[in-house]
Amino acid sequence: MSAQRVVVLISGRGSNLGALIAAGLPVSAVLSNRADAPGLALAQSHGIATESLSPRDYPDRTSFDRALSERIDHYRPDLVVLAGYMRILSDEFVMHYQGRLINIHPSLLPSYPGMDTHARALSDGVKVHGCTVHFVIPELDSGPIIMQAGVPVHADDSVNSLTERVLAAEHHIYPQAIAWYLQDRLTVDAQGRVNVAGVSPMAQSVLMLDVATEGG
Protein backbone atom coordinates (compact mmCIF):
# COMPACT_ATOMS: atom_id res chain seq x y z
CA MET A 1 0.00 0.00 0.00
CA SER A 2 3.02 2.30 0.46
CA ALA A 3 3.26 3.13 -3.28
CA GLN A 4 -0.35 4.27 -3.46
CA ARG A 5 -1.58 7.82 -3.00
CA VAL A 6 -4.72 9.16 -1.35
CA VAL A 7 -5.70 12.83 -1.58
CA VAL A 8 -8.12 14.03 1.11
CA LEU A 9 -10.42 17.06 0.78
CA ILE A 10 -11.49 18.81 3.98
CA SER A 11 -13.19 21.98 5.12
CA GLY A 12 -12.77 21.86 8.90
CA ARG A 13 -11.06 20.19 11.82
CA GLY A 14 -10.06 17.01 10.03
CA SER A 15 -11.63 14.50 12.42
CA ASN A 16 -11.91 11.72 9.86
CA LEU A 17 -8.58 12.75 8.37
CA GLY A 18 -7.00 12.00 11.74
CA ALA A 19 -8.57 8.53 11.72
CA LEU A 20 -7.16 7.84 8.25
CA ILE A 21 -3.69 8.96 9.29
CA ALA A 22 -3.86 6.89 12.50
CA ALA A 23 -4.79 3.85 10.41
CA GLY A 24 -1.59 4.22 8.40
CA LEU A 25 -3.32 4.91 5.10
CA PRO A 26 -1.15 6.51 2.39
CA VAL A 27 -2.43 10.10 2.58
CA SER A 28 -0.14 12.04 0.26
CA ALA A 29 -1.91 15.42 0.28
CA VAL A 30 -4.72 17.29 1.99
CA LEU A 31 -6.55 20.10 0.20
CA SER A 32 -9.11 22.51 1.63
CA ASN A 33 -11.43 25.24 0.43
CA ARG A 34 -10.60 27.09 3.67
CA ALA A 35 -7.09 28.28 4.50
CA ASP A 36 -7.97 28.30 8.22
CA ALA A 37 -9.18 24.67 8.34
CA PRO A 38 -7.56 23.09 11.43
CA GLY A 39 -7.16 19.83 9.54
CA LEU A 40 -4.42 21.42 7.43
CA ALA A 41 -2.26 21.88 10.52
CA LEU A 42 -2.99 18.28 11.51
CA ALA A 43 -1.76 17.08 8.12
CA GLN A 44 1.34 19.29 8.27
CA SER A 45 2.20 17.86 11.69
CA HIS A 46 2.43 14.44 10.01
CA GLY A 47 4.56 15.71 7.13
CA ILE A 48 1.70 15.59 4.63
CA ALA A 49 1.56 18.15 1.81
CA THR A 50 -1.29 20.67 2.12
CA GLU A 51 -2.90 23.27 -0.11
CA SER A 52 -5.88 25.59 0.15
CA LEU A 53 -7.91 27.15 -2.63
CA SER A 54 -10.58 29.77 -1.93
CA PRO A 55 -13.76 29.68 -4.00
CA ARG A 56 -13.82 33.48 -3.72
CA ASP A 57 -10.85 33.59 -6.11
CA TYR A 58 -12.87 32.02 -8.93
CA PRO A 59 -15.88 33.32 -10.86
CA ASP A 60 -18.02 30.19 -10.53
CA ARG A 61 -18.19 26.64 -9.21
CA THR A 62 -16.99 25.08 -12.45
CA SER A 63 -13.82 27.14 -12.67
CA PHE A 64 -13.05 26.51 -9.00
CA ASP A 65 -13.55 22.77 -9.38
CA ARG A 66 -11.31 22.74 -12.46
CA ALA A 67 -8.56 24.47 -10.51
CA LEU A 68 -9.06 22.04 -7.65
CA SER A 69 -8.82 19.09 -10.04
CA GLU A 70 -5.54 20.42 -11.40
CA ARG A 71 -4.06 20.56 -7.92
CA ILE A 72 -5.39 17.12 -6.99
CA ASP A 73 -4.01 15.61 -10.20
CA HIS A 74 -0.58 17.04 -9.39
CA TYR A 75 -0.39 14.35 -6.68
CA ARG A 76 -1.49 11.53 -9.05
CA PRO A 77 -3.95 10.01 -6.56
CA ASP A 78 -5.26 6.47 -6.70
CA LEU A 79 -8.22 7.65 -4.62
CA VAL A 80 -9.78 11.00 -3.70
CA VAL A 81 -11.48 11.06 -0.30
CA LEU A 82 -14.03 13.59 0.93
CA ALA A 83 -13.67 14.01 4.68
CA GLY A 84 -15.93 16.81 5.84
CA TYR A 85 -15.58 18.71 2.56
CA MET A 86 -18.47 21.15 2.70
CA ARG A 87 -19.01 22.04 -0.93
CA ILE A 88 -21.30 20.55 -3.54
CA LEU A 89 -19.13 19.28 -6.38
CA SER A 90 -19.82 20.00 -10.04
CA ASP A 91 -20.82 17.08 -12.25
CA GLU A 92 -17.64 17.64 -14.29
CA PHE A 93 -15.48 17.21 -11.20
CA VAL A 94 -17.31 14.09 -10.07
CA MET A 95 -17.10 12.44 -13.47
CA HIS A 96 -13.39 13.25 -13.73
CA TYR A 97 -12.82 11.02 -10.68
CA GLN A 98 -15.55 8.48 -11.39
CA GLY A 99 -14.89 5.26 -9.52
CA ARG A 100 -12.12 6.74 -7.39
CA LEU A 101 -13.99 9.39 -5.39
CA ILE A 102 -15.61 8.40 -2.09
CA ASN A 103 -17.40 10.18 0.73
CA ILE A 104 -18.66 9.47 4.22
CA HIS A 105 -22.13 10.76 5.02
CA PRO A 106 -23.60 11.03 8.55
CA SER A 107 -26.72 8.95 8.02
CA LEU A 108 -27.77 5.50 6.89
CA LEU A 109 -28.36 6.35 3.25
CA PRO A 110 -30.68 6.52 1.45
CA SER A 111 -32.26 7.99 4.60
CA TYR A 112 -31.43 11.63 5.33
CA PRO A 113 -29.34 12.80 2.41
CA GLY A 114 -28.12 16.38 2.59
CA MET A 115 -27.65 18.46 5.73
CA ASP A 116 -28.82 18.38 9.37
CA THR A 117 -29.03 14.60 9.40
CA HIS A 118 -28.86 14.14 13.18
CA ALA A 119 -31.55 16.70 13.95
CA ARG A 120 -33.81 15.15 11.33
CA ALA A 121 -33.27 11.64 12.71
CA LEU A 122 -34.10 12.79 16.24
CA SER A 123 -37.19 14.64 15.01
CA ASP A 124 -38.43 11.49 13.29
CA GLY A 125 -37.83 9.36 16.38
CA VAL A 126 -35.72 6.73 14.64
CA LYS A 127 -34.17 4.04 16.84
CA VAL A 128 -31.02 3.51 14.75
CA HIS A 129 -28.98 6.20 13.01
CA GLY A 130 -25.47 6.00 11.59
CA CYS A 131 -23.13 6.71 8.71
CA THR A 132 -22.40 5.55 5.17
CA VAL A 133 -19.28 5.31 3.03
CA HIS A 134 -20.21 5.54 -0.64
CA PHE A 135 -18.86 6.22 -4.09
CA VAL A 136 -19.67 9.74 -5.26
CA ILE A 137 -21.85 10.23 -8.33
CA PRO A 138 -23.40 13.46 -9.66
CA GLU A 139 -26.65 12.84 -7.74
CA LEU A 140 -26.10 14.06 -4.17
CA ASP A 141 -25.55 11.30 -1.56
CA SER A 142 -26.77 8.64 -3.97
CA GLY A 143 -23.70 6.65 -5.05
CA PRO A 144 -23.10 2.92 -4.50
CA ILE A 145 -22.79 2.10 -0.79
CA ILE A 146 -19.49 0.56 0.31
CA MET A 147 -20.03 0.25 4.07
CA GLN A 148 -22.42 1.42 6.77
CA ALA A 149 -22.42 1.58 10.56
CA GLY A 150 -25.52 1.96 12.70
CA VAL A 151 -25.63 3.43 16.21
CA PRO A 152 -28.58 3.24 18.59
CA VAL A 153 -30.48 6.43 19.26
CA HIS A 154 -31.00 6.97 22.98
CA ALA A 155 -34.14 8.51 24.45
CA ASP A 156 -32.11 11.35 25.99
CA ASP A 157 -29.94 12.04 22.93
CA SER A 158 -29.26 15.59 21.82
CA VAL A 159 -27.92 16.53 18.41
CA ASN A 160 -24.47 16.86 19.98
CA SER A 161 -24.45 13.48 21.74
CA LEU A 162 -25.75 11.68 18.65
CA THR A 163 -23.24 13.51 16.46
CA GLU A 164 -20.33 12.33 18.61
CA ARG A 165 -21.43 8.67 18.56
CA VAL A 166 -21.94 8.71 14.82
CA LEU A 167 -18.53 10.36 14.42
CA ALA A 168 -16.92 7.53 16.39
CA ALA A 169 -18.57 5.08 13.99
CA GLU A 170 -17.25 7.10 11.03
CA HIS A 171 -13.73 6.77 12.42
CA HIS A 172 -14.24 3.01 12.54
CA ILE A 173 -15.56 2.34 9.04
CA TYR A 174 -13.91 4.98 6.84
CA PRO A 175 -10.36 3.60 7.17
CA GLN A 176 -11.68 0.09 6.54
CA ALA A 177 -13.56 1.07 3.38
CA ILE A 178 -10.52 2.93 2.03
CA ALA A 179 -8.25 -0.04 2.77
CA TRP A 180 -10.60 -2.30 0.81
CA TYR A 181 -10.46 0.11 -2.13
CA LEU A 182 -6.67 0.27 -2.10
CA GLN A 183 -6.52 -3.54 -1.91
CA ASP A 184 -8.59 -3.59 -5.13
CA ARG A 185 -11.31 -5.61 -3.43
CA LEU A 186 -14.33 -3.51 -4.39
CA THR A 187 -16.57 -4.18 -7.38
CA VAL A 188 -19.91 -2.62 -8.28
CA ASP A 189 -22.49 -4.93 -9.86
CA ALA A 190 -25.11 -4.08 -12.46
CA GLN A 191 -27.61 -3.18 -9.71
CA GLY A 192 -25.19 -0.67 -8.17
CA ARG A 193 -24.33 -2.88 -5.20
CA VAL A 194 -20.77 -2.88 -3.93
CA ASN A 195 -19.20 -6.26 -3.26
CA VAL A 196 -15.98 -6.80 -1.32
CA ALA A 197 -13.80 -9.73 -2.36
CA GLY A 198 -13.27 -12.13 0.52
CA VAL A 199 -15.70 -10.31 2.81
CA SER A 200 -19.26 -11.36 3.64
CA PRO A 201 -21.99 -8.80 2.93
CA MET A 202 -22.64 -8.67 6.69
CA ALA A 203 -19.15 -7.26 7.24
CA GLN A 204 -20.16 -4.23 5.19
CA SER A 205 -22.82 -3.42 7.77
CA VAL A 206 -21.74 -2.80 11.37
CA LEU A 207 -23.97 -2.09 14.38
CA MET A 208 -21.90 -0.05 16.83
CA LEU A 209 -23.60 -0.98 20.09
CA ASP A 210 -20.67 -0.14 22.35
CA VAL A 211 -19.13 2.89 20.66
CA ALA A 212 -17.39 5.12 23.16
CA THR A 213 -17.99 8.80 22.58
CA GLU A 214 -14.97 10.40 20.94
CA GLY A 215 -14.03 14.02 20.60
CA GLY A 216 -13.51 15.13 17.05
CATH assignment of the domain containing 164: 3.40.50.170
Please indicate, yes or no, if residue 109 is contained in any of the structural domains. Answer: yes
Question: 216: pLDDT confidence band, cut at 50, 70 and 90?
Answer: very low
Please indicate, yes or no, if residue 80 is contained in any of the structural domains. Answer: yes
Identify whether 96 is a catalytic site residue.
no
Please indicate, yes or no, if residue 212 is contained in any of the structural domains. Answer: no
The total domain count for the chain is 1
Please indicate, yes or no, if residue 185 is contained in any of the structural domains. Answer: yes
Please indicate, yes or no, if residue 214 is contained in any of the structural domains. Answer: no
46, 96, 105, 129: the catalytic one is 105
Please indicate, yes or no, if residue 49 is contained in any of the structural domains. Answer: yes
Q: In terms of residue numbers, what domain contains 126? A: 6-207
- Nearest C-alpha neighbor of 99 from the set 150, 65, 134, 50: 134
- Nearest C-alpha neighbor of 34 from the set 49, 16, 14: 14
Q: pLDDT by residue (tens digit) across 9-51? A: 999 999 999 999 999 999 999 999 999 999 999 999 999 999 9
This model's pTM is above 0.85: yes
Which residues does 201 contact at the CB level (< 8 Å), separation at least 6? Answer: 195
Please indicate, yes or no, if residue 117 is contained in any of the structural domains. Answer: yes
Please indicate, yes or no, if residue 160 is contained in any of the structural domains. Answer: yes
Phi, psi (5° rounding) for residue 44? -60, -35
Q: Provide the β-strand partners of residue 6.
A: 27, 79
